[in-house]
C-alpha cells in the first residue's frame, strides 16, 4: 500500500506490523542497502542470526531498526521498488511511522520535545546569546545537559546570534544597504520583470548562522531578484525526527498559509537549508491535503538550485571579482534526495579559476539524531569517510548547517555555505558584525 500520513490506520499497530513484515521481507530479498546505514546493517545481521526466519523477528528487533534510522533518505532514491512500482516500498517513511506510533503510545519524549522546538529554543537563546554560547563550552553544564536531556557532552552545538536574521532583515529592507537592481545588460532582465522570491530562511539561519542568510540576500539582490521574507516557523523536520507528526502538520499548515499567497502572486520559494527545502517539496504534500501544499512544493527551490536556474535563463550575473581556488564541496543527503543534480557545484564553477571537488557522502549528523548520547559516537563513524576528504587544505563547503558542524567535529575544518563563497567571489562585503 502507498504510504499515507493521513490514513485511518496510520497509528494502528497491527497494520504497522503487517507492513513492517512485508517491507523487511522485500529488503531481505534485495539487500542493495546492506552498507548504507546502521538500520540496514542491524536488520540484515539479525535476519542472518535467525537463519532467515523472518517470523522470529520481534517488536524489539523492529524498534532497534527504527531507532537507528536517521532519515537521511539515501535508501529511497536507490530503491527500485518505490512508487509507482507495485511494491510501493518507502523504507524511510515507514521508519518514521514506527517513530510516530511509539510517540503516540508513550508520548513524545522530553528529549524530543526539547530538541524539536527550535523556535522556542532559538527565541530564548538569541536573547541571552553570549551566556548561552559560553555555557555550552562549560564541561559541568554539558554533563548536566547529557544527564537531563541526553545531548552528548562532546556534541559541538551551533552558536546563537544576538540578532535574528528576521530582525536584521526588517532593518535591512528599510535601509540604504539594499543593493540596487543591476542594469538589464548585466543580468538580462529589466527591473519591471524582476524574478520574485519569498525567502524561507530556516531556523538555523534565523537563530544561528545569520551570515548565510545575509549572503543569500546580498547575492539575490545583486542579481536583481525581488525578495520578501514573511513570518514563518520551523519547517517541521525536527518534529518528524521525534515522531511528532501532529506538530509537523501544524508547522506545515502555518508555513503554507504564509507562502501560498506569494506563490499565487508569481513568487518562487527559496530556502538555503537542504532539509527544509526537501521537506517543503516532498513531505508537505504528504502531510497536508490542502491543494496549496502541492502548489508551494512545485515552486520551492533550494537556494543554489534557484541560482542555477537563473544562470540557465541567462539571468545570473557572472561579474565575479575574486577567484576561489580549490573547494571541497559536500553534497548533503537531503539535496541528493531532491534529485536535482549538483547545483551548488555548478554555480561555484562559474567563478573563474575555481575548482570544485564534490564529496557525496553522509555526514551522519542527520537532524536531532546525532545529538542524542546513544547515537553520537556512531554518527562520527558514519561520517568518517566524509571527514577524510576535508584534510587537504582546500576551502570547504556544504549547504547543510548540521553537516558543517559534523565535518568540523570530525576533521577540524568548518565548511561554509556555498552562498557565502559566492558572495566573496562577487566581491560583496561580509557584514563586519559577523
Ligand atoms: S533513511 Fe537513511 S538512515 Fe534511514 S533507513 Fe534509509 S539509509 Fe538508513
Ligand atoms: S530499501 Fe529498497 S533497495 Fe534498499 S534493501 Fe530495501 S528493497 Fe532493497
Mutate to test the pocket of ligand 1, among 73, 375, 403 (most ligand atoms within 8 A of CB): 73
Question: CA dihedral in degrees (141, 146, 150, 156; nearest 10)?
Answer: 70
| pLDDT at residue 258 in the model | 97
Rounded to the nearest angstrom, the distance between the alpha carbon of 93 and the centre of ligand 1 is: 9
Atom of ligand 2 nearest to the CA of 91: 1
Find, among 73, 67, 41, the residue nearest to 338 by Cα.
73
Residue nearest to atom 6 of ligand 2 (CA): 27
Atom of ligand 1 nearest to the CA of 71: 1
Task: List CB contacts of 136: < 8 A, sequence separation 6 or more.
Answer: 142, 157, 159
| pLDDT at residue 176 in the model | 65
| pLDDT at residue 124 in the model | 94
| pLDDT at residue 432 in the model | 73
Rounded CA-CA distance 73/33 in Å is 12
| pLDDT at residue 1 in the model | 63
Residue nearest to atom 4 of ligand 2 (CA): 33
| pLDDT at residue 305 in the model | 98
End-to-end Cα separation, the chain, in angstroms: 50
| pLDDT at residue 254 in the model | 98
Atom of ligand 1 nearest to the CA of 33: 7
Does any ligand 2 atom lie closer than 6 A to the CB of residue 33?
A: yes
Residue nearest to atom 6 of ligand 1 (CA): 75
Does any ligand 2 atom lie closer than 6 A to the CB of residue 65?
A: no
Cis peptide before 84 (omega within 30 of 0): yes
Closest ligand to 22 CA? Answer: 2
CATH class, 325-425 region: alpha beta
Give yes or no for residue 431 having a pLDDT over 70: yes
User: What residues form DSSP beta bridges with 131?
Assistant: none
Does any ligand 1 atom lie closer than 6 A to the CB of residue 82?
A: no
Q: What is the pLDDT confidence band of residue 365, given thresholds at 50, 70 and 90?
A: confident
Task: List CB contacts of 12: < 8 A, sequence separation 6 or more.
Answer: none
Higher pLDDT: 307 or 3? It is: 307
Rounded to the nearest angstrom, the distance between the alpha carbon of 54 and the centre of ligand 2 is: 16
Express as a percent the part of the chain with pLDDT over 70.
96
Closest ligand to 334 CA? Answer: 1
Does any ligand 2 atom lie closer than 6 A to the CB of residue 43?
A: no
Q: How many residues can be counted in the chain? A: 434
Sign of the CA dihedral with 258 first, then 261, 264, and 267 last:
negative
Does any ligand 2 atom lie closer than 6 A to the CB of residue 312?
A: no
Does any ligand 2 atom lie closer than 6 A to the CB of residue 31?
A: yes
User: Average pLDDT of the chain?
Assistant: 93
Give yes or no for residue 186 having a pLDDT over 50: no
Residue nearest to atom 3 of ligand 2 (CA): 79
Task: List CB contacts of 48: < 8 A, sequence separation 6 or more.
Answer: none
**Sheet strands side by side (includes 354-359):** 354-359, 325-330, 395-398
At residue 210's C-alpha, the angle toward residues 208 and 213, to 5°, is 130
Mutate to test the pocket of ligand 2, among 20, 21, 31 (most ligand atoms within 8 A of CB): 31
Rounded to the nearest angstrom, the distance between the alpha carbon of 253 and the centre of ligand 1 is: 26
Rounded to the nearest angstrom, the distance between the alpha carbon of 273 and the centre of ligand 1 is: 19
Of 24-33, 178-187, 404-413, the least confident: 178-187
Strand 395-398 to 325-330 pairing = parallel
Atom of ligand 2 nearest to the CA of 36: 4
Does any ligand 2 atom lie closer than 6 A to the CB of residue 320?
A: no
Give yes or no for residue 190 having a pLDDT over 70: no
Atom of ligand 1 nearest to the CA of 362: 2
Residue spans per domain, the chain: 13-106, 165-312, 325-425
Judge whether 387 and 396 are in contact, CB under 8 Å: no
Mutate to test the pocket of ligand 1, among 30, 79, 91, 364 (most ligand atoms within 8 A of CB): 91
Sign of the CA dihedral with 131 first, then 134, 140, and 142 last:
positive
Closest ligand to 98 CA? Answer: 1
Cell of 49: 542470526
User: What residues form DSSP beta bridges with 330?
Assistant: 359, 398
Cell of 429: 562585503
Would you say domain 165-312 falls under CATH 1.10.132?
A: no
Judge whether 367 and 237 are in contact, CB under 8 Å: yes
Atom of ligand 2 nearest to the CA of 82: 2
User: What residues form DSSP beta bridges with 271?
Assistant: 302
User: What residues form DSSP beta bridges with 199?
Assistant: 270
Cβ-based neighbour number of residue 60 at 10 Å: 7
Amino acid at each position: 500500500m502507498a504510504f499515507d500520513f493521513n490514513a485511518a490506520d496510520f497509528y494502528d499497530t497491527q497494520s504497522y506490523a503487517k507492513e513492517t513484515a512485508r517491507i523487511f521481507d522485500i529488503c531481505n530479498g534485495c539487500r542493495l542497502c546492506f552498507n548504507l546505514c546502521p538500520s540496514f546493517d542491524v536488520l540484515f545481521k539479525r535476519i542472518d542470526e535467525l537463519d532467515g526466519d523472518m517470523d522470529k523477528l520481534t517488536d524489539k528487533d523492529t524498534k532497534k531498526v527504527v531507532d537507528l534510522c536517521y532519515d537521511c533518505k539515501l535508501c529511497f532514491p536507490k530503491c527500485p521498488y518505490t512508487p509507482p512500482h507495485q511494491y510501493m516500498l518507502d523504507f524511510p517513511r515507514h521508519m518514521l511511522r514506527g517513530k510516530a506510533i511509539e510517540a503516540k503510545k508513550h508520548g513524545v519524549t522530553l528529549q524530543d520535545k526539547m530538541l524539536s522546538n527550535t523556535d522556542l529554543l532559538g527565541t530564548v537563546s538569541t536573547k541571552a546569546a553570549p551566556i548561552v554560547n559560553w555555557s555550552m563550552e562549560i564541561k559541568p553544564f554539558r554533563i548536566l545537559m547529557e544527564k537531563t536531556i541526553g545531548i552528548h557532552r562532546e556534541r559541538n552545538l551551533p552558536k546563537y546570534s544576538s540578532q535574528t536574521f528576521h530582525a536584521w532583515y526588517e532593518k535591512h529592507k528599510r535601509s540604504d544597504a539594499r543593493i540596487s537592481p543591476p542594469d538589464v545588460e548585466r543580468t538580462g532582465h529589466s527591473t519591471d520583470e524582476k524574478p520574485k522570491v519569498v525567502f524561507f530562511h530556516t531556523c538555523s539561519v534565523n537563530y544561528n548562522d545569520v551570515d548565510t542568510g545575509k549572503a543569500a540576500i546580498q547575492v539575490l539582490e545583486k542579481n536583481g531578484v525581488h525578495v520578501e521574507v514573511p513570518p514563518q516557523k520551523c519547517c517541521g523536520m525536527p518534529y518528524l525526527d521525534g515522531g511528532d507528526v501532529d506538530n509537523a502538520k501544524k508547522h506545515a499548515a502555518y508555513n503554507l498559509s504564509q507562502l501560498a499567497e506569494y506563490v499565487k502572486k508569481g513568487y518562487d520559494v527559496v530556502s538555503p537549508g537542504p532539509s527544509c527545502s526537501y521537506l517543503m517539496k516532498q513531505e508537505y504534500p504528504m502531510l497536508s491535503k490542502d491543494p496549496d501544499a502541492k502548489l508551494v512544493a512545485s515552486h520551492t527551490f533550494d537556494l543554489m538550485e534557484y541560482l542555477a536556474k537563473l544562470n540557465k535563463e541567462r539571468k545570473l550575473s557572472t561579474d565575479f571579482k575574486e577567484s576561489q581556488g580549490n573547494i571541497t564541496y559536500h553534497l548533503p543527503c537531503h539535496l541528493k534526495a531532491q534529485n536535482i543534480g549538483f547545483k551548488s557545484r555548478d554555480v561555484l564553477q562559474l567563478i573563474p579559476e575555481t575548482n570544485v571537488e564534490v564529496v557525496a557522502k553522509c555526514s551522519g549528523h542527520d537532524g536531532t539524531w546525532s545529538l542524542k548520547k546513544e547515537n553520537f559516537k556512531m554518527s562520527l563513524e558514519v561520517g568518517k569517510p566524509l571527514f577524510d576528504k576535508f584534510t587537504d587544505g582546500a576551502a570547504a563547503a556544504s549547504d547543510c548547517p548540521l553537516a558543517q558542524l559534523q565535518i568540523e567535529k570530525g576533521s577540524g575544518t568548518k565548511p561554509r555555505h556555498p552562498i557565502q563563497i559566492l558572495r566573496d567571489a562577487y566581491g560583496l562585503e561580509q557584514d563586519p558584525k559577523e
